[in-house]
Amino acid sequence: MNHKERALTALNHEEPDRVPIDLGGRNTTLMLSGYEAFKKKLGKEEIPTQVMSKVWQTAYVDEYFLQKFGADFRQVRPRNVAVLGSNKPREFAEDGCEIFTDQWGVKRKVDGEYATIYEYNLKNPTLDALEAYPWPDTTKDFDFSGVREEAKKLHDEGEYAVVGCMGNAGNLFDQSWYLRGMPEFFMDMMSRKDFAHALMRKVCDVRKENARLFLEEAGEFIDVFQCADDLAMQNAPFMSLPMYREFIKPYQAELFGYIKGMTKAKLYYHSCGAVTTLLDDLIEVGVDILNPIQVSATGMETDNLKKRYGKQLSFWGGIDTFEVLPNGSVRDVRNEVAKRIGDLAPGGGYILGSVHNMQSDVPPENVIAMLESAVELGQYPIAS
C-alpha cells in the first residue's frame, strides 16, 4: 500500500498494512522551540523553520522529516495573512513579551510557548455591540491563492492522504469566549441567552464563510477536513449536557452539515479533555474522526473508547503528551505506542500521533522513538 491507500483503508474501518502516522498536522506537530531541538538532534539545523500558527506557536514540519518517518498525510491550508503577513510595527508588553492582534481583534501575548489572550475586547454584552463589532473578513484574513493547485496536485499524484484545514480551528464555543472571556460567556449562557445565541450566530456565520472559501478551492481534492473546539477539561466537559445541546450543538450541526454539503472528506474533530459524555452527540452532528484522544483525562481509556465507539469513530492521536512523551524514557514511549496500537488499531480506525502539539519539554529522542516504534509495532496483524 502507498500512504494514501493505507490512510483511507484505516479511516474506512478496515485493516491496512500498518497503522497510519500523522506528523506535522494542525494538532500533531511540534511547537517552535521543540522543532528547533528536533532539527538539531537529527543534524538538520539548516532546514528553515516555517511558522504554522503564530497564535499557537507551532511549526510546519519539513518534507524531509515527513518522508524520513513515514508520515501518511499531507496538509493543505491557506496562509493567515492577518497575523503572519502583517506589516504593522511589533508591539511589546512591559515585560518585553510581544503583543499582536489576531484576525478577530483579540490581543495576544507571546509568553513562553503560547500566545495567551492579553485582552478580551467584546466587553459589552448587548445586541447593539454585536452589530457594531468589526467582524473578520475572511477574504482578507487568509490567502487562498495556491490552495486549489496544491490540493489538486496531491490528489492527482495519489501518494498521500490530503488533510484540509481552512486556516483556523473552525471553533465556535472557543472563539466566543476568546472574545468575551470564559466566565463572562458562561454568564451569558446562563442569564443573557439571547446575547449568547446571537454571538454564536455571528461566529458560526464567519466560520461557514471561511469553510466556503476553502472548500470551493479544495473540497473535491481532500480526504479529511479539520475542525476543532475544546469542550472539556481534565475531568469533565466545561458545561452540562443540556447547556451544550442548547448553545453549542445546534451551531456545530449547522457548520458541519454545511461542510459536508461541499466535500466528501471525512470530518475530523479536535477537542481536548474528557469528552466521552459528548461523543454520542458529536457523532450525531457528523463527526467521523476524534482527535486528540487525551488519554490522561477522565474516561478516555482507549480500550473502552474502542469497544464503545470503534465502529462509529476513527481515533487520531493517542500518544500521551502529559506524562509519557515529556517525562518518560524511550522504553516508556515504546510501551505507550504498543498500548495505544493494541487498544485502537484492531479492525482499522486508528491514526497514530501525539496527543496535541509537542512542546519543548518533549525530548527529541522521544519524538523519534514514537515515530520509529509506530512503524515497527504498527504492522498488521496487530500483535497482542
> Which residue from 35, 76, 79, 37 is spatially nearest to 58, judged by alpha carbons?
35
Q: Is the pLDDT of residue 11 over 90?
A: yes
Residue recorded with cell 463589532:
133
Query: For 94, phi and psi rounded to 5 degrees?
Result: -60, -30
Give the least confident one: 101-115, 214-228, 346-360.
Answer: 101-115
DSSP lists the bridge partners of residue 266 as: 224
The 10s digit of each residue's pLDDT in 365-376 is 999 999 999 999
What spatial distance separates the first Cα and last Cα of the chain, rounded to whole Å? 23
Which pLDDT band holds residue 85 (cuts at 50, 70, 90)?
Answer: low
pLDDT band of 384, cuts 50, 70, 90 = low
Query: What pLDDT sits at residue 87?
Result: 63
More confident residue, 100 or 257: 257
Structure confidence at residue 93 as a pLDDT band (50, 70, 90): confident
SS (H, E, C) the chain: CCHHHHHHHHHCCCCCCECCECCCCCCCCEEHHHHHHHHHHCCCCCCCCCEEECCCCEECCCHHHHHHCCCCEEEECCEECCCCCCCCCCEECCCCCEEEECCCCCEEEEECCEEEEEECCCCCCCHHHHHHCCCCCHHHHEECCCHHHHHHHHHHHCCCEEEECCCCCCCCHHHHHHHHCHHHHHHHHHHCHHHHHHHHHHHHHHHHHHHHHHHHHHCCCCCEEEEECCCECCCCECCCHHHHHHHHHHHHHHHHHHHHCCCCCEEEEECCCCCHHHHHHHHHCCCCEEECCCCCCCCCCHHHHHHHHCCCCEEEEEECCCCHHHHCCHHHHHHHHHHHHHHHCCCCCEEEEECCCECCCCCHHHHHHHHHHHHHHCECCCCC
Q: What's the CA gap between 109 and 111, in Å, rounded?
A: 6
* Residues 291-330: tens digit of each pLDDT: 999 999 999 999 999 999 999 999 999 999 999 999 999 9
Confidence label for 341 from pLDDT (cuts 50, 70 and 90): very high
At 142 the pLDDT is 94
The three cell numbers of residue 199 are 454571538
Summarize pLDDT for 151-190 with one digit per residue, the tens: 999 999 999 999 999 998 899 999 999 999 999 999 999 9
Percentage of the chain exceeding pLDDT 70: 99
Res 277: pLDDT = 98
Domains, the chain, in order of start with CATH, read: 3-377 (3.20.20.210)
- Cα angle 61, 66, 70 (rounded to 5 degrees) comes to 150
- Give the model confidence (pLDDT) of 18-40 as tens digits: 999 999 999 999 999 999 999 99
Calculate Rg over the CA atoms of the chain. 20
Give the model's pLDDT for residue 94: 84
Residue 8 has pLDDT above 90, yes or no: yes
Average pLDDT of every residue of the chain:
96
Q: How many residues appear in the chain?
A: 384
Is the torsion defined by CA of 93, 99, 101, 107 positive or negative? negative
d(CA 274, CA 352): 19
pLDDT score recorded for residue 86: 60
pLDDT for res 111: 84
Per-residue pLDDT at 282 = 98
- Average pLDDT of span 248-269: 98
